[in-house]
Amino acid sequence: MKYYKNKPISSSEITPSYLFYARRKFMQLVGGATLAAIMPSTVWANDKLSASQNVTYNLKDELTPYKDVTSYNNFYEFGTSKEDPAENAKGLKTRPWSIVVDGEVKKPKTFDIEELLKMAPLEERIYRFRCVEAWSMVIPWIGFPLNELIKQVEPTGNAKFVEFISLHDQEQMPGQKSSVLEWPYREGLRIDEAMHPLTLLTMGLYGELLPNQNGAPVRVVVPWKYGFKSPKSIVRIRFTESQPVSSWMQAGPNEYGFYSNVNPDIDHARWSQAKERRIGEFFKRKTLLLNGYAEEVAQLYAGTDINSYF
């Protein structure tokens, strides 16, 4: 895996070119009328996010087109098919929005979304994003390291894990009327995983605020884990001494382990994880250990049998 090693450069030098390319390509593919129909109002109504590109973590891989990133989603709060979120998330109200941060911390706090947008310099990072169903994307996420928020609340010595809880609102999230999962959606990380500089508190992609179907207004992105470990539309972050039970662990403990690190040697109960299909490509490619981020994160699991702790 190769990375650019230069210092971050300003968005004015980079962002306009790829945004122009992505939008032009999208318009050519679907036409202006279709674009207006499927994109959430937040993309049109709000300003672009100003962010410097952190080239340390930006891949050379070709970006997945904006159309695919925003129309092929797993977000069961809005339905179980990949097309449901883009259609059913249009009514999600993302302002006002706040996140309660509590539990084993010295300084519990409630963060307003506008405060989060100003709290730390926003970075653009191009990450691989791998889903457990053996498909993947390359997305330019915008946010800041989650550890910036964690430092503000000062976890106690008892804080071993971080639990994330998403919005529970059946009126806005019609998929929550189903029993496919027990709501609200919950996920968790070890605190060292949450503190790792790759873990991103994310507010945008492709130079814009997050579309509703991608987890607006704030989500986590953990690029070396399967996508369901990157919870969306977060309303609470809770620090705990014991390992939290995540939604997918509860639904299928033999299929979804707490760690859920990308591991091509561990098959899902119903399909192989050895290969993946990048959205937009016909042929499959070999799945990379830890989604290609082994150099950065393998030390987190030194001495741990990652085949047993899946």
Residue 47 is predicted with a pLDDT of: 56
The confidence score (pLDDT) of residue 309 equals: 87
List of residues 6+ apart from 152 with CB closer than 8 A: 107, 109, 119
**231: three-class secondary structure by DSSP:** coil
* Three-state SS letters, 127-183: EEEEECCCEEEEEEEEEEEHHHHHHHHCECCCCCEEEEEECCCCCCCHHHHCCCCCC
Which are the contacts of 47, defined by CB distance < 8 A and separation ≥ 6?
none
What was the pLDDT predicted at 34? 41
pLDDT tens, position by position, for the chain (310 residues)? Answer: 433 333 333 333 333 334 433 444 444 344 443 433 333 333 323 458 989 999 999 898 999 999 999 999 999 999 999 999 999 999 999 999 999 999 999 999 999 999 999 999 999 999 999 999 999 999 999 999 999 999 999 999 999 999 999 999 999 999 999 999 999 999 999 999 999 999 999 999 999 999 999 999 999 999 999 999 999 999 999 999 999 999 999 999 999 999 999 999 999 989 999 999 999 999 999 999 999 999 999 999 999 888 888 8
Q: Which superfamily does CATH assign the domain made up of 11-301 to?
A: Oxidoreductase, molybdopterin-binding domain (3.90.420.10)
Q: How far is CA 179 from CA 76, 133, 182, in A?
A: 10, 20, 6
Domain regions of the chain by residue span: 11-301
The reported pLDDT for the residue numbered 42 is 35
pTM of the full structure: 0.85
